[in-house]
Chain A
Amino acid sequence: MANAPSILLVEDEPALMDALERIIAAQGWKVAATVATVSAGIEFVSNRDCDAAIVDANLRGQCSKELVTELLRRKIPLVVVSGYNASNRGGLWDEVTCILKPFDESELISVVSNLLKQNMQ
């Protein structure tokens, strides 16, 4: 791919980040950056660009809502990966696509592909 889409990965658990990187690389996509905290994520998007983001709902004990809001404001498509199911999430992520941990590789790929397609249009 000449212009591989770049994906921002936000996840605090290194083993999961490792899995995400592998999945992204296998698709021929680029990893824009790997960050583990809300503040690092916000710092990245205010300085650099990316085509989509995969964001863990809970980063080092902190809710990642602030980062999600910032991404939505910048119109960067994103998917939230969460450890809790919808019933105990309390409508926090109503506006965004969510997938549950532990996620299926193909599910993640199809969700991110859709995000990228929507972004192109």
Chain B
Amino acid sequence: MRRRTFDTRRAPLFEKEHSVPKRILNRAVEMTDRLAFPSRSHHWSLRAALAVGLTTVVFAVALPVFVTYLMMVDFYFFFPAVLLSSILGGVVGALASVGTVLFWTSFLVDLQVIFLDLIGFLAVSAILVLLVEALQRRQIREQLATEQRMAERMRDATQIAVLSEEVAHRCKNLLAVVLAIAENSWDAGATGNFKENFKERMRGLARSHDLVEKSGWAGVSLREVIDGQIGYLIRAGRKRVVLDGPDISLQVAAAQSISMAMYELATNAIKYGALSNSVGIVRLSWSITESHLRMSWEESGGPLVRQPNRTGFGQKVVKKYLEHSLDAIVKLEYKLTGVQWSLYAPVQTIICKQEHGKRAVDIAGRR
């Protein structure tokens, strides 16, 4: 027969044990606990006050007098033993010591003669045992609660440290991106004017950053990334931009890279491609397998496409940058009928699998 196993974390003290003696013991300990150590956080009700007052009177006055009167000191000698064994051995220990006392006494005296003394002894012993047990359980409970609080605090602190490191890192990188954009927008060969190019790209960057922040630096929705960069085209363009693919939770870096690429592809389509006339169509589709994300941007119906004679910043963003930051394979083709772009990237650089807290702890653990 298979042995039953307990989930010790869930019920460390009062396990779900159905044996009657155990249930009676647990109830008795709980009641003793409630009577002897009333919770300080609660307001005293009249009944509780009466109960405590009564208990105090019984414990402090009536019981000692009663015991002394009945027992004529005899059994007093055994109380230290009962107390000690119940502290060290719990209920079982106390039962053993009480049993031993009864066993030896039965040799010396006729138990029937000292019947009342015996009852007194058993009653006081029971109260002692229950008090010790209640105290010990209370202590264990408090210890567990303290440990849990400490663990939580540690986890919070680690999380904050890791998160702030990551934020610092990403902020500095973002500045680097801004510098690169500025330099490239300034590039003499770039078309349009610097101010407009730069401002638009900054707005695109800010939109993707908003999403990252909204997500709490964890998974960013691919659909929201796309919507952030080209949503206005979808809403304005009467089905000229067609989206097809499931929503995916992206890592922060992937969200930023893909976001920038979407911005550049859309800008190019509006300036020279399928969206520069009134009939062209863009089809943006993606699918995910166990191992890879495949994404494609296909333009059709635009003016005839010419291969550009220089590599601009936009081209770098949609190919080289993506390949580098996502370990991806990117194809960018200037077909006569329209620009065709495709991305093939391993899920390791794309998908955000965990919520942030867990990941933060993982990173901290690796250090």
A joins B in a complex: yes
Q: Interface on A for B, CB 8 Å cutoff?
A: 12-19, 34, 36, 57-58, 60-63, 65, 83-84, 88, 101-102
Tell me the complex Cα distance, A83–B169, Å.
5
- Chain A residue nearest in CB terms to B162: A61
Contact across chains for B175 and A101 when beta carbons are under 8 A apart? yes
Contact across chains for A15 and B180 when beta carbons are under 8 A apart? yes
Tell me the complex Cα distance, A14–B254, Å.
12
Residues of A within 8 A of B367 (CB): 63, 65
Q: Interface on B for A, CB 8 Å cutoff?
A: 165-166, 168-169, 171-173, 175-177, 179-181, 183, 253, 257, 316, 320-322, 324-325, 327, 349, 359, 363, 366-367
From A14, A57, A63, contact of B321 by CB (8 A): A14
Tell me the complex Cα distance, A60–B253, Å.
8
Can you list the 8 inter-chain pairs with the closest CB atoms, starting with the nearest? A83-B172, A14-B321, A15-B180, A101-B172, A16-B176, A14-B324, A15-B177, A13-B173
Residues of B within 8 A of A19 (CB): 176, 179-180, 183
Closest beta carbon of chain A to B332's beta carbon, Å: 15
Closest beta carbon of chain B to A72's beta carbon, Å: 18
Contact across chains for A14 and B179 when beta carbons are under 8 A apart? no
- Chain B residue nearest in CB terms to A102: B175
Contact across chains for A61 and B166 when beta carbons are under 8 A apart? yes
New A-B contacts (6) at CB < 8 Å, excluding given A16-B180, A18-B316, A60-B349: A14-B320, A17-B324, A18-B321, A34-B324, A36-B327, A101-B175
A–B pairs, 5, beta carbons within 8 Å: A14-B320, A15-B179, A18-B316, A65-B367, A84-B169
Contacts known (A36-B325, A101-B172); A18 close to B180, Cβ less than 8 A: yes
